[in-house]
């Protein structure tokens, strides 16, 4: 696979240099670099770090997400998520479980596994969890004092989704404190920038999570309860069977990570956008009915996850590149969501934007995020309660810090707020 050899006619720097800066582990704001890459050449550039073609334009990213016949998700072994040492017993056990995620499968396997969630995440079904979201949010906000300064990332943005997803899954409260650590570790295994000892530690911690979930699933097999784990354990697939133990553990772990990391980043990103856009914030504070559209704009302009991967099953053209079967592509959701070809004035936070419903924060097609309705509900409840409790919150004295060592999830590491 050849890399970029010249600066493209519409770009100001060679793509190799932009990619090196983007994945160099120091850039706080990746969006100007996404913009450069999107407007350089055809917006498709080879990344040595990702070992794939980085795709930045909306039409291309949407097509990749939609055409699962050409762009396969059956790619665990050739993506960062599948990086492991076959000679290491812990690595092998991790790979055996993690490779069974339905997000790493095409139909019919993908359809069979996903069918076990078919009734759990409909908008109507999710609505019954509103009380759990409201309770967790209000309880955490009441622990703060007006006028105090807090870093909302570890003390609020991370705690709310843990409490919610743990409650929904049916995890005992005494384990909630470990869930954030376990979830972050497992999410890190998907990231190409997590290598060496960082990856070894993430895999070891993920195995602790897997073992815990296996024990909980076994309990629910014998004694079902009114929770999501019980539902998944006992729900038959479209093929008339139930998920095997390894399949089951993999899906529950994914629900934890997706339900946690997505909402944590949504809260941190949303708070930042409200601080940076006082006019929009004043409108929302005065009329909470604007929150659903505001949440969509938050998801568009700074999505919780920035990129994903697909594997070509046959020769295809992406942008102006003719790529052979077996090529890995990395569609960048965050770059696509700010493509001016799809969204006028895309860098502006506009809560009245007519086009924000077509963003790709939850992808598109058969791999559209199964928990999207829950993430939206959590976002609406969290921001309504935050604005109700602390309508005048402002930026803290310490600077906010975005993650720089995560290519997939570039949420905020620190987001100090004065309540």
Encode pLDDT of 161-182 as tens digits. Answer: 888 888 888 888 888 888 888 9
Using one digit for the tens of pLDDT, what is the confidence trace for 351-386?
999 988 899 999 888 888 888 889 999 999 999 999
CA-angle at 14, arms to 8 and 17, nearest 5°: 160
CA distance 275 to 283: 13
Provide the pLDDT confidence category of residue 81 given band limits of 50, 70 and 90: confident
Segment 203-227 shows an average pLDDT of 94
The predicted model gives 407-414 an average pLDDT of 90
Supply angle C-alpha 271, 274, 279, rounded to 5. Answer: 170
pLDDT tier, 190 (very low <50, low <70, confident <90, very high otherwise) = confident
At residue 67, does pLDDT exceed 80? yes
State the average pLDDT over residues 16-42. 95
Joined together, the tokens standing for residue 366 give 């058969």
pLDDT at 180: 81
Looking at per-residue pLDDT, the higher value among 218 and 103 belongs to 218
167-178 as b/e: b if 16+ CB within 10 A: bbbbbeeeeeeb
- Residue 233: CB atoms within 10 A of its CB come to 22
pLDDT at 10 over 60: no
Instruction: Please give the residue that has the higher pLDDT: either 349 or 3.
Output: 349
pLDDT surpassing 90 at residue 313: yes
Q: Is 372 left (phi over 0), alpha (psi -120 to 50) or beta?
A: alpha
Domains of the chain: 15-418 (1.10.630.10)
Mean pLDDT of 128-152: 90
Most confident of 187-201, 234-248, 313-327: 313-327
Indicate the pLDDT class of residue 152, thresholds 50, 70 and 90. very high
pLDDT at 355: 84
User: The tokens of 278 are what?
Assistant: 């006082």
Of 308, 370, 364, 376, the C-alpha closest to 115 is 370
Name the band, by pLDDT with cuts 50, 70 and 90, for residue 339. very high
Instruction: Report residue 386 CA to chain centroid gap.
Output: 22
Tokens (6 digits) for 210: 């897997």
Q: Which residues of 311-338 are buried (b: 16+ CB within 10 A; e: fewer)?
A: bbbeebebbebebeeebbbbbbbbbbbb
Please state the pTM of the whole predicted model.
Answer: 0.90
Residue ranges of E strands in 10-158: 44-47, 52-55, 71-72, 149-151
């Amino acid at each position: 696979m050849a890399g970029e050899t010249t600066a493209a006619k519409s770009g100001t720097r060679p793509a190799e240099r932009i990619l090196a800066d983007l994945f160099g582990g120091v850039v706080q704001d990746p969006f100007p670099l996404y913009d450069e890459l999107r407007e350089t050449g055809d917006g498709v550039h080879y990344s040595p770090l990702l070992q794939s073609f980085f795709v930045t334009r909306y039409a291309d990213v949407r097509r990749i997400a939609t055409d699962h016949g050409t762009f396969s998700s059956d790619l665990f072994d050739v993506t960062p998520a599948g990086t492991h040492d076959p000679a290491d017993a812990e690595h092998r056990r991790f790979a055996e479980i993690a490779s069974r995620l339905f997000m790493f499968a095409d139909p019919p396997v993908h359809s069979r596994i996903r069918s076990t969630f078919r009734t759990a995440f409909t908008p109507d079904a999710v609505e019954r969890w509103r009380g759990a979201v409201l309770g967790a949010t209000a309880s955490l906000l009441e622990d703060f004092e007006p006028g105090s300064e807090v870093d909302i990332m570890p003390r609020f943005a991370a705690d709310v989704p843990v409490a919610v997803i743990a409650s929904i899954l049916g995890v005992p409260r005494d384990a909630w404190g470990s869930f954030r650590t376990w979830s972050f570790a497992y999410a890190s295994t998907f990231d190409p920038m997590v290598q060496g000892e960082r990856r070894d530690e993430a895999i070891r911690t993920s195995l602790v999570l897997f073992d815990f979930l296996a024990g909980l699933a076994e309990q629910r097999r014998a004694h079902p309860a009114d929770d999501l784990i019980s539902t998944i354990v006992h729900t038959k697939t479209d093929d008339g069977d139930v998920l095997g133990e390894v399949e089951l553990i993999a899906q529950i772990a994914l629900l934890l990570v997706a339900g946690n990391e997505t909402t944590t980043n949504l809260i941190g990103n949303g708070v930042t956008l409200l601080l940076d856009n006082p006019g929009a914030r004043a409108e929302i504070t005065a009329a909470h009915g604007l929150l659903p559209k505001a949440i969509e704009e938050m998801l568009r302009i700074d999505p919780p996850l920035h990129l994903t991967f697909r594997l070509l099953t046959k020769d295809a053209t992406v942008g102006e590149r003719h790529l052979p079967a077996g090529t890995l592509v990395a569609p960048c959701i965050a770059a696509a969501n700010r493509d001016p070809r799809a969204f006028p004035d895309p860098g502006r936070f506009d809560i009245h934007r007519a086009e924000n419903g077509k963003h790709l924060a939850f992808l598109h097609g058969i791999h559209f995020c199964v928990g999207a309705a829950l993430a939206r509900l959590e976002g609406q409840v969290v921001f309504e309660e935050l604005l109700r409790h602390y309508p005048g919150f402002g930026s803290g004295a310490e600077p906010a810090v975005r993650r720089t060592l995560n290519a997939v999830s570039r949420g905020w590491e620190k987001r100090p707020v004065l309540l």
